Copies of this chain bind each other. A is one copy, B any other.
Amino acid sequence: MDQLLFWLVPVASVLALCFALYFHREMMKESEGTPQMVKIAAAVRKGAMSYLKQQYKIVGWVFVGLVILFSVMAYGFGVQNPWVPIAFLTGGFFSGLSGFLGMKTATYASARTANAARHSLNAGLRIAFRSGAVMGLVVVGLGLLDISFWYLLLNAVIPVDVMTPTHKLCIITTTMLTFGMGASTQALFARVGGGIYTKAADVGADLVGKVEAGIPEDDPRNPATIADNVGDNVGDVAGMGADLYESYCGSILATAALGAAAFIHSGDTLMQFKAVIAPMLIAAVGILLSIIGIFSVRTKEDAKMKDLLNSLAFGTNLSSVLIVIATFLILWLLKLDNWMWISCSVVVGLVVGIIIGRSTEYYTSQSYRPTQKLSESGQTGPATVIISGIGLGMLSTAIPVIAVVIGIIASYLFASGFDFSNVGLGLYGIGIAAVGMLSTLGITLATDAYGPIADNAGGNAEMSGLGEEVRKRTDALDSLGNTTAATGKGFAIGSAALTGLALLASYIEEIRIGLTRLGVAEIHSGGEAISVQDATFFDFMHHYDVTLMNPKVLSGMFIGSMMAFLFCGLTMNAVGRAAAHMVDEVRRQFREIKGILTGETEPDYERCVAISTKGAQREMVVPSLIAIIAPILTGLIFGVPGVLGLLIGGLSSGFVLAIFMANAGGAWDNAKKYVEEGNFGGKGSETHKATVVGDTVGDPFKDTSGPSLNILIKLMSMVAIVMAGLTVAWSLF
C-alpha cells in the first residue's frame, strides 16, 4: 500500500507537466495581434533568450568548475559521495529548464494578453493567468520528477548489504540534497543576474526617460524600453522560477532527510520510509489541488477589478483549504506515526505563509495607512520619502518574524509530541511546515508569474499604440499582479527561512556520513564515547561544542550577519553601476540619433539590451562566488561550529534584511502609484517627483537584493552540506 502511494509522486509530476503543455498550447493558439505587436513581442523575446543564453554559458563554466571539484573530492580523496557530481548537475539543469520554459511561455503570452485585452478584461486575465500557470506547473512538475527519479535510481543502485536499510534511506536522502545545491547555484545566478538586468534597465529607463526627457513609461521613444520589458521576463519570471524550484525541492528533500534521520535509532524501517515519502506525497497532492484551483479561476464577462481579485483569491484559497483536508487524509492513509499532529505542522506552515503575505500586503499596498503615510511624506521632498520608507520597511519585519517564530515552535512541538528534547521529530516538523507552505506552489506561482506577463502586455499595448481603453485594461491586470505578488513574496521568503532551518539539521546528518566515510567510529558527548551511527543531534552539538559560548560559533555568526549585508551591498552597487551605463547609453542616443524624441526615428533598442545583458553578466559573478566560497572557507578555518554559526547568523539576519528590503521597495512603488492616483497633488507634482525617487531606490531593494537574499540563505546551507565531508576531513587532518 505504502509503496503504491509513492507512485502518486511521479504521476502527479507528469500530470503537472501535461497540464503545463496543455495551457501552453491553448495560449499559442491565440492571435498575437497587429504586426507592430508581433514585432515588439519578438524583440522582447529575442532579447530575453539571448540574455538567458549568455547567462547559461557563464553558469555552465561555474558548474564545470564545481563538478571538477566535487569529482576530485569524491573519486580522488573519497571525502564526497560518488553520486554528488551527477546529482548536482541534474539539479542545475532542471532549475535552469524551469526558468527557460516559464520565460519562453511568458514572452509568447504578453502580446496575446494585450490582444485579448482589446476584446475584454476577462479574456486578458485568462490568457495571462494560464500562461503564468505554465510556469507554476513546470516548476512543481520538474521538481517532483527529479525527486522521484533520483529516489528510484538510488534505491535501486545502492546495495543493501553494505548497510542496514535504516541507514540506506539516510544515504539516499542526503545524496539527493546535493541536487538541491545544483538548483540553488543555478537559482542564485538567475536571481542575481536577472535582478541586476531588470533593475539596470528599469532604473536607466526611468532616470533618463521619465525624469530627464519627461516621456511616460513604456514609451517607444525610450531606447531602454525594450530592455526594461526583457528585464521583467529574465528577472521576475526566469529568476523567480529558478528560485522557487529550489525552495520547493530544498524543503521536500531536507524534510525527507530529516525523516530518515528521525527514525534512525528506532530501527523501524517502515516508519522511516513513511517519514521520507510523506513530504513528497503532500507535494504531489498539492499539485493535483493546484490544477483544480487553476481551473476554478474564471470571471464574468463584465468583471470589475474587485471581481478579478476575488476570482484569483478564490483559486488560491480553494487550493489552500483543500490541501489542509488532503494532508490529514494522506498522512492517515500512510499511517504515519503521530499523523494528526504532523498534519497540524503542515497547516502551521500554510498559515505562516499566509500571515507573512497579508502583512506584506498591509505594509506595501496603497489601500492601507503605512503606504498612504509614505506618500504623504513626499510633501516634504525625496529625503523624507526615503527616511519614512526605510522606517516602514524596518518596522514591517516584526510581524513576519513573530509569525515565523511561532511557526517554528508550534510545528516543532506538534511533530515532537510536545517534547522539546525530541529534536529529530521536532525538526522534521519544521521541515514539513515548509513543505506545507509550498505545497500549493503550482497555483501561487501562477499568480506570481502572471504579474510580469500582464506588465509586458501593458508595455506592448503602449508601444503598439493601442487605445486608451486597452491600456486601462492592461493596467488593471498589472495592478492585480502587484497585489498577488505580495502573497507570493511572503511564501518565497517564509519558505526560505523554514527550509534554511531544516537544512541546518541536514548538515548534521551529512557530518555523520562524512565521519563514517572517514572511518571515525565514535564522538564524545558529556565525557562519554558514543558511536557515530547512534549519536543524536544533541551529541553532535556537544561533541563539536556548538554552544553560544564557543568563540568559533560567535565568529561564524558575526560573519553570517555580515555576509547578508555584504551580499546586498554588492548587488545594490552592481545595479547602480549597470544602471549608470544604461543612463549613459540612453543619453547618447537622445543626443546622437536625431528625431528620436519626435518619434521620427526608432531608437537603437538592441544596444540597450546588449548593455543590460553585459552589465548583468559582469556583475553577477562576484556576489555569487562569495556566497559559494564563504561557507567553504569558514568550514576550513572554524570547523563545524563556525559553519553552523555562519548559517544561523546568515539565516536570522538575512531573513529580517530580506523582509525589510522587499517591503520598503514595495511600499515605495505603491506610494508613487497612490500619488499618481491623484493624491497629494497627483502626477507631475513635486510630491510625485519625490515619490519617484523612492520608487527608483526601491527597485533594487525589492527586485534584486531582497529576493537574492532568499537564495543566499539556502545556497550557503547547501554548500555547507555538500562540503561537509571536506570540513570533517580537514579538521581531522
Residue numbers of A with Cβ under 8 A of B are 203, 207, 211, 377, 380-384, 386-388, 390-398, 401-402, 404-405, 408-409, 412, 420-421, 423, 426-427, 430, 497, 501, 504-505, 508, 525-528, 537-538, 541-542, 545-555, 557-562, 564-566, 568-570, 572-573, 575-576, 579-580, 583, 644-645, 648-649, 652-653, 655-657, 660, 692-693, 696-697, 700
* A347 nearest CB across to chain B (Å): 18
Contact status A541-B551, CB under 8 Å: no
Q: Which of B386, B551, B569, B573 contacts A693 (CB 8 A)?
A: B386
Beyond A380-B207, A653-B653, is A648–B555 a contact (Cβ under 8 Å)? Answer: no
Contact status B526-A392, CB under 8 Å: no
Choose among A392, A395, A692 the residue with the greatest number of B CB atoms under 10 Å from its CB.
Answer: A395
- Docked complex Cα distance between A56 and B412 (Å): 46
- Docked complex Cα distance between A52 and B550 (Å): 42
What are the residues of chain B within 8 A of A404 when measuring CB–CB? 558
What are the residues of chain B within 8 A of A409 when measuring CB–CB? 551-552, 555
Beyond A420-B552, A430-B551, is A405–B572 a contact (Cβ under 8 Å)? Answer: no
- Docked complex Cα distance between A656 and B568 (Å): 13
What are the residues of chain B within 8 A of A207 when measuring CB–CB? 380-381, 383-384
Beyond A401-B558, A401-B559, A653-B656, is A391–B548 a contact (Cβ under 8 Å)? Answer: no
* A388 nearest CB across to chain B (Å): 5
- Docked complex Cα distance between A531 and B525 (Å): 19
Contact status A382-B382, CB under 8 Å: yes
* A692 nearest CB across to chain B (Å): 8
Q: Which of B395, B547, B548 contacts A566 (CB 8 A)?
A: B395
Contact status A570-B395, CB under 8 Å: yes
- Docked complex Cα distance between A320 and B505 (Å): 46
Contact status A391-B569, CB under 8 Å: yes
Contact status A652-B547, CB under 8 Å: no
Choose among A386, A408, A645, A693 the residue with the greatest number of B CB atoms under 10 Å from its CB.
Answer: A386
What are the residues of chain B within 8 A of A558 when measuring CB–CB? 401, 404-405, 408, 497, 652, 655-656
- Docked complex Cα distance between A398 and B573 (Å): 15
Contact status A548-B538, CB under 8 Å: no
23 sample A-B contacts, Cβ–Cβ < 8 Å, listed by A number: A207-B380, A377-B576, A377-B580, A383-B697, A386-B693, A390-B697, A391-B569, A391-B570, A394-B569, A395-B570, A398-B566, A401-B558, A401-B561, A402-B559, A405-B558, A409-B552, A504-B548, A546-B548, A561-B561, A565-B656, A649-B652, A652-B653, A653-B656
Q: Is the interface of A mostly helix, strand, loop or mixed?
A: helix
Q: Which of B402, B542, B546 contacts A526 (CB 8 A)?
A: B542
Contact status A551-B412, CB under 8 Å: yes
Q: Which of B426, B508, B561 contacts A653 (CB 8 A)?
A: B561
- Docked complex Cα distance between A390 and B395 (Å): 18
What are the residues of chain B within 8 A of A430 when measuring CB–CB? 551
Q: Which of B561, B565, B652, B693 contacts A382 (CB 8 A)?
A: B693
Contact status B381-A549, CB under 8 Å: no
Contact status A388-B560, CB under 8 Å: no
- Docked complex Cα distance between A506 and B579 (Å): 50
Contact status B652-A566, CB under 8 Å: no
What are the residues of chain B within 8 A of A541 when measuring CB–CB? 547-549
Choose among A377, A525, A561, A660 the residue with the greatest number of B CB atoms under 10 Å from its CB.
Answer: A561
Choose among A396, A545, A645 the residue with the greatest number of B CB atoms under 10 Å from its CB.
Answer: A545
What are the residues of chain B within 8 A of A497 when measuring CB–CB? 558
Contact status B538-A572, CB under 8 Å: no
- Docked complex Cα distance between A230 and B549 (Å): 43
What are the residues of chain B within 8 A of A397 when measuring CB–CB? 562, 565-566, 569
What are the residues of chain B within 8 A of A576 when measuring CB–CB? 377, 384, 387-388, 391
Closest B residue, CB atoms, query A384: B576
Contact status A549-B505, CB under 8 Å: yes
What are the residues of chain B within 8 A of A505 when measuring CB–CB? 549
Inter-chain pairs besides A383-B693, A384-B576, A404-B558, 11 sampled, C-beta below 8 Å: A207-B381, A207-B384, A377-B576, A387-B579, A394-B569, A395-B569, A397-B566, A402-B559, A408-B551, A426-B551, A565-B657
Q: Which of B387, B388, B542, B656 contacts A562 (CB 8 A)?
A: B656
Closest B residue, CB atoms, query A575: B387
Contact status A559-B405, CB under 8 Å: yes
What are the residues of chain B within 8 A of A504 when measuring CB–CB? 548-549
Closest B residue, CB atoms, query A427: B549
* A219 nearest CB across to chain B (Å): 19
What are the residues of chain B within 8 A of A381 when measuring CB–CB? 207, 211, 693
* A465 nearest CB across to chain B (Å): 29
7 shortest interchain CB distances as A-B pairs: A526-B526, A394-B569, A383-B696, A391-B572, A391-B573, A541-B547, A401-B562
Contact status A573-B386, CB under 8 Å: no
- Docked complex Cα distance between A552 and B401 (Å): 14
- Docked complex Cα distance between A575 and B384 (Å): 10
Contact status A572-B394, CB under 8 Å: yes
Choose among A402, A547, A560 the residue with the greatest number of B CB atoms under 10 Å from its CB.
Answer: A547
* A500 nearest CB across to chain B (Å): 10
Closest B residue, CB atoms, query A388: B576
